[in-house]
């Protein structure tokens, strides 16, 4: 039974849908002008599996579902939270039992893997993308869920972007270009490296953990380096990969001392660093004092004294989301919506209708606002819209439309070692889990191991994984 509070929120949202506007610019409708993919025939009941398991996010999703059901009384949606790490096994069990849900929300790599297993309705997902307009999505986001031949395992929904956050005011004063190319990044890192003043040029990961691989992947892909080709052949030992490793090791010399991870963002927030790699999850730390508090102490690094919050830091910070050497490369994670091949046309039609609703202005922005900075729009037209910029936490208003377009543009060129031309390479995920690449980089940057021997050792471990699969 719905609670009185839920119905009150529902009626308010329905009213907002009917009367939103006035002097506020209306958000563009991602489905405007698109024909309906299908017309669901009711009554029908479907399941929506989502990896948004937090209670506050569940409450927001339920409000959106309640609103949709009020507008579509013949359709009932049951929201089932599933931990991200359990999604694949839960789907496998449901497929074996013939109880697949109609719709799921999960990462792009999961969507591609499930598509390869034959449990995704590729035609229905492709039809929906074409209905919404494939050209309205960031193309990098589409590539992450595509098969490389024009079909899609899922529809991109939201994502986060990694890039170089940098002191634009320092760069302007020094007459330096935006840190985008390898040469520009290295020049700036060297210029701002002043260890006697406890100031450092850049932060790249050098510990044996995921952060290091995330940063390195963007450099490797910007040089055309990969772990595998589309057929799953190991191509790690290449001139392009060696060049990327050499460059990364050189760049790491301008880090704060010792092995470093994301925690060294404290140097930047205390104005002791010119550039640092991070995802868009840093946005609230830069903009809101309470969020920044953990990085303004002297608890994490002995050579930092602690600092007060600088409200102008967010104004003086820009993001360079694309790195280029021989090609452009971004890095990020796409979360998608995907229709399962569960053998019921009526349920598929209902799920498609719900998906279209989730891309309408109020619903889409409401969903994205569950995690400002962590959930970014996969459609460029949304990033600068006033409604999107007016998030409840007040994060985006500190950035503005121009910066938000600049930030989300990283989704245009995101790359991955794990997906090659729409084909998911399972061995790449195992290599990631075993931290082979970050262990190699740690050995090179912190232990002084020779690059050739470190690469040979890493390749031997990769070959062993392939032999065991």
pLDDT in tens, 10-28: 433 433 333 233 333 344 4
* pLDDT of 375: 95
Q: Is residue 346 part of a domain?
A: yes
CA distance 335 to 111: 9
pLDDT interval class at 422 (50, 70, 90):
confident
Whether 127 is covered by a domain: the verdict is: yes
pLDDT of residue 390: 95
The average pLDDT across 378-383 equals 93
On whether residue 353 sits in a domain, the answer given is: yes
Return the percentage of the chain with pLDDT > 70, whole number.
Answer: 91
The answer as to whether 387 is a domain residue is yes
Query: Would you state the pLDDT for residue 141?
Result: 94
Per-chain mean pLDDT for the chain? 90
Average pLDDT over residues 292-300: 96
Place of tokens 């090609």: 327
Rounded Cα distance, 378 and 383, in Å: 8
Q: Is the pLDDT of residue 362 over 50?
A: yes
Structure confidence by residue, pLDDT tens digits, 322-361: 999 999 999 999 999 999 999 999 999 999 999 999 999 9
- Strand pairing report for 155-167 and 317-320: antiparallel
- Joined together, the tokens standing for residue 120 give 């995704």
**CA torsion, ordered 228, 231, 232, 236, to nearest 10 deg:** -30
Q: How far apart are CA 61 and CA 363, in angstroms?
A: 9
Q: Is 21 left (phi over 0), alpha (psi -120 to 50) or beta?
A: left
Residue 31 has pLDDT above 80, yes or no: no
Residue 300 is predicted with a pLDDT of 95
Beta bridge partners of 334: 159
Q: Where are the alpha helices (DSSP H) in 133-277?
A: 139-145, 168-174, 182-191, 210-222, 239-252, 265-269
Domain count, the chain: 1
Q: What is the mean pLDDT of residues 41-60?
A: 93
DSSP class of residue 399 equals T
67 within domain boundaries? yes
The rounded radius of gyration (Å) of the Cα atoms in the chain is 23
The pLDDT score that the predictor gives to residue 41 is: 61
For the cut 70, the answer to whether the pLDDT of residue 5 exceeds it is no
Residue 78 lies in a domain: yes
The per-residue pLDDT for 417 is: 93
Is the peptide bond between 43 and the residue preceding it cis, with omega within 30 degrees of 0?
A: yes
What tens digit of pLDDT does each residue of 147-175 get? 888 999 999 999 999 999 999 999 999 99
Can you give the pLDDT at residue 164? 98
Mean pLDDT for the stretch of residues 220-238 = 96
Domain harbouring 150, CATH code: 3.40.190.10
Asked if 48 contacts 148 with a C-beta cutoff of 8 angstroms, the reply is no
Residue 244: which residues within 8 A CB-CB, separation 6 or more?
216, 219, 220, 222, 223, 225
Q: Which of 96-105, 300-309, 417-426 has the lowest mean pLDDT?
A: 417-426
Residues 256-283 have a mean pLDDT of 97
Query: Which stretches of 71-144 are assigned E, i.e. beta strand?
Result: 75-81, 103-107
H-run or E-run covering 176: none
Which residue, 150, 161, 160, 145, is CA-closest to 336? 145
**CA–CA gap between residue 251 and residue 451 (Å, rounded):** 15
Distance CA 144, CA 110 (A): 10
The stretch 50-67 carries a mean pLDDT of 97
Q: Is the pLDDT of residue 37 over 70?
A: no
For residue 220, what are the contacts with CB-CB under 8 A and spacing of at least 6?
A: 226, 240, 241, 244, 417
CB atoms under 10 Å from CB of 60, counted, come to 16
In a domain, 5, yes or no: no
Q: Which two tokens stand for residue 248?
A: 């990364």
- Which residues neighbour 28 within 8 Å (Cβ) at sequence distance 6 or greater? 361, 381, 382, 385
Assigned token pair, 189: 């890192």
Mean pLDDT, residues 268-281 taken together: 97
Residue 50 inside a domain? The answer is yes
| Prediction pTM value | 0.85
| Domain assignment of residue 379, given as a range | 28-160+332-412
């Amino acid at each position: 039974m719905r609670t009185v509070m839920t119905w009150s929120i529902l009626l308010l949202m329905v009213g907002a849908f009917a009367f939103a506007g006035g002097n506020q610019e209306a958000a563009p409708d991602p489905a405007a002008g698109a024909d309906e993919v299908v017309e669901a025939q009711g009554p029908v009941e479907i399941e929506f599996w989502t990896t948004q398991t937090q209670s506050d996010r569940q409450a927001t999703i339920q409000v959106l579902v309640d609103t949709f059901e009020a507008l579509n009384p013949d359709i009932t949606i049951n929201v089932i939270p599933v931990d991200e790490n359990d999604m694949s096994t839960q789907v496998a069990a449901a497929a074996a039992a013939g109880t697949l849900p109609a719709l799921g929300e999960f990462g792009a790599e999961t969507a591609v893997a499930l598509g390869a297993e034959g449990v995704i309705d590729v035609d229905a997902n492709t039809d929906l993308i074409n209905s919404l307009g494939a050209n309205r999505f960031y193309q990098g986001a589409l590539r992450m869920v595509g098969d490389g031949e024009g079909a899609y395992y899922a529809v991109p929904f939201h994502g986060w972007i990694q890039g170089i956050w940098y002191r634009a005011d320092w760069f302007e004063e020094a007459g330096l270009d935006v840190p985008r190319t390898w040469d520009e990044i290295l020049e700036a890192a060297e210029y701002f490296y002043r260890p006697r003043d406890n100031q450092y040029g850049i932060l790249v990961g050098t510990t044996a953990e995921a952060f290091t691989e995330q940063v390195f992947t963007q450099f490797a892909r910007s040089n055309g380096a990969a772990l595998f080709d589309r057929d799953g052949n190991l191509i790690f030992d290449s001139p392009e990969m060696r060049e990327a490793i050499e460059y990364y090791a050189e760049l790491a010399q301008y880090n704060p001392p010792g092995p470093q991870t994301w925690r060294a963002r404290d140097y930047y927030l205390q104005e002791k660093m010119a550039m640092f790699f991070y995802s868009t999850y840093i946005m609230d730390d830069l903009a809101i004092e309470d969020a920044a508090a953990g990085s303004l102490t002297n608890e994490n690094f002995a050579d930092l004294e602690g600092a007060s919050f600088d409200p102008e830091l967010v104004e003086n910070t820009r993001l360079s989301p694309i790195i280029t050497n021989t090609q452009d490369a971004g890095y990020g994670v796409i979360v998608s919506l995907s229709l399962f091949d569960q053998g019921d046309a009526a349920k598929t039609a209902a799920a498609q209708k719900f998906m279209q609703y989730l891309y309408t202005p109020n619903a889409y922005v409401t969903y994205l606002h569950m995690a400002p900075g962590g959930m970014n729009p996969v459609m460029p037209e949304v990033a600068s819209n006033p409604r999107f910029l007016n998030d409840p936490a007040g994060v985006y208003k500190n950035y503005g439309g121009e910066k938000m377009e600049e930030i989300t543009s990283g989704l245009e060129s995101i790359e991955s070692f794990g997906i090659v031309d729409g084909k998911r390479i399972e061995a790449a995920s195992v290599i990631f889990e075993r931290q082979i690449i970050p262990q190699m980089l740690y050995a090179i940057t912190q232990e002084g191991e020779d690059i050739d021997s470190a690469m040979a050792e890493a390749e031997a471990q990769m070959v062993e994984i392939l032999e065991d699969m």
